[in-house]
Amino acid sequence: MSDSSNDDSAPSKVLVVDDLYANRVALRRVLQRIDVDVVEAGSGNDALAACLDHEFALILLDVQMPDMDGMEVAELLNGEESTRDTAIIFVTAGSSDDMDRLKGYRLGAVDYITKPIDERLLQAKVCNFVELYDSRRALRRARDELDAVNNQLRGEIEIRRSAEARAQHLATHDALTGLPNRLLFVDRLSSMTKRARRRAGRFAIGYMDLDGFKPVNDAYGHRAGDVVLEHVARRLEQTLQDVDTAARFGGDEFALLIEDIDSEQACLSRCQDVLEAVSAPIAVPTSTGHIEVEISASLGIAFYPEHGNDVDELMHNADSALYRVKYEGKASVRLFQSHDDARPMPIGGQNHRLMQ
């Protein structure tokens, strides 16, 4: 509906419908004393057309008209959602019986006025209904403004939530591989330990280093090294089960949480699958194109509760098992043994993290 009534500074509109021009003129003169914009229609069809183009505060509708009388016009207006709530005052040539009035009220009439028209009575009734319409329009405008503010607020909240979620993700995940970082890994390990303690459960923690990773960086550059790390991360995710966790601690150091442990042998078999997946050739970019490189991995495993009853002990013992693997030949998986804590010093006094 095209209508200037959306302009709050414009007067409300009143539609006068009568087939006699003299009657319309008389009504217009009465309404000129009120701050309203008068629109005239000389037939029922003209009235319906006017309602398509304007929103009216009130319709003064003559009941007796040729072709389409006032009742028919009211019935059609009542059938349209856009005009159903428009107030209608029926203008009649004489008194109406109760049945006619009831029919009119069912079709949206709010009042009746008879000819000859009492000007003061008409002005009073028009003023009342226009004031009511203006109040409803103001309420509707306030509601629309509130809806707009709420929509804007919801949008801002969603943006803030997304930003917070992104910040939380960055704080708990490795930026390069997208895997959980040490912070999130330790949190999950702590939760898993508490859950296993309550349920007499069992799980494994693994520490993994890549063998031969440093030469890849040295020979082909850090971008090639990043590609290797990204491939390793995806292979860990694909090889482990959904309930398991693979994390990156930094450099070429990774950590695993493995649930649903049936036996030591089954767990070691799953870990061997991990090492085989990681050791498959990886295409890395170089200055002259792509080249396939092969690396291996070493993995130390500790079981809860056999090898530790808390987070620190489990992490320490998994690291000790990895140290022993790196020291004794690399490229294999080792279950923690009590004597792994007695670490021999590598040649040159290097830490196992540098034994690439």
**Whether pLDDT at 191 is above 90:** yes
pLDDT at 295: 93
Tens digits of residue pLDDT in 81-100: 888 888 899 888 766 666 66
pTM, to two decimals: 0.60
Residues 320, 204 within the same domain: yes
DSSP code for 347: G
Residues 211, 271, single domain; the answer is yes
Residues 205 and 340 grouped into a single domain: yes
Answer yes or no: do 127 and 268 share one domain.
no
Q: What is the pLDDT of residues 262-290, one digit of tens each?
A: 888 989 999 999 999 999 999 998 878 88
Domain count along the chain: 2
CATH code, 15: 3.40.50.2300
pLDDT for residue 255: 97
239 and 326 belong to one structural domain: yes
Of the three residues 142, 170, 199, the one that is the final residue of a domain is 142
Domain, as residue range, for 238: 182-354
d(CA 142, CA 155): 20
The answer to whether 89 touches 110, Cβ cutoff 8 Å, is yes
Residues 129 and 261 occupy one common structural domain: no
Measured CA to CA, the distance from residue 184 to residue 26 in angstroms comes to: 83
Residue 151 is assigned to a structural domain of this protein: no
Last residue of a domain, one of 142, 172, 206: 142
112 near 101, Cβ under 8 Å?
yes
Q: Residue 114: in which H helix or E strand, if any? A: strand 109-114
Kindly state the helix (H) or strand (E) to which residue 183 belongs, with its residue range: helix 182-199
Continuous segment of H or E residues that includes residue 60: strand 58-62
Question: In terms of domains, do 115 and 224 share one?
Answer: no
* 13 and 131 fall within a common domain: yes
pLDDT level of residue 7 (50, 70, 90 thresholds): low
The position carrying tokens 């279950």 is: 335
Same domain for 137 and 220, yes or no, is no
CATH number at residue 287: 3.30.70.270
pLDDT digits (tens, 9 = 90+) for 57-68: 999 999 889 889
Is 138 contained in some domain? yes
Whether 160 is in a domain gets the answer no
The reply to whether 254 falls in a domain is yes
Domain boundary among 115, 142, 169: 142
Are 346 and 224 in the same domain?
yes
Whether 67 is in a domain gets the answer yes
Residue 284 lies in a domain: yes
Contact (Cβ atoms closer than 8 angstroms) between residue 87 and residue 59: yes
Asked if residue 300 is part of any domain, the answer here is yes
Helices (H) and strands (E) in the chain, counts: 10, 12
Does the residue 172 lie in any domain? Answer: no
Same domain, 34 and 113: yes
Cα-Cα-Cα-Cα torsion 332, 333, 339, 343, nearest 10 degrees, comes to: 50
pLDDT tens digits along 280-337:
999 998 878 889 999 999 999 999 999 999 999 999 999 999 999 998 889 999 999 9
SS3 17: strand
Do 335 and 272 contact (CB within 8 A), yes or no? no
Kindly state the tokens that stand for 28. Answer: 């217009």
309: which residues sit within 8 A by CB, 6+ positions away? Answer: 193, 197
132 and 191 assigned to the same domain: no
d(CA 327, CA 356): 10
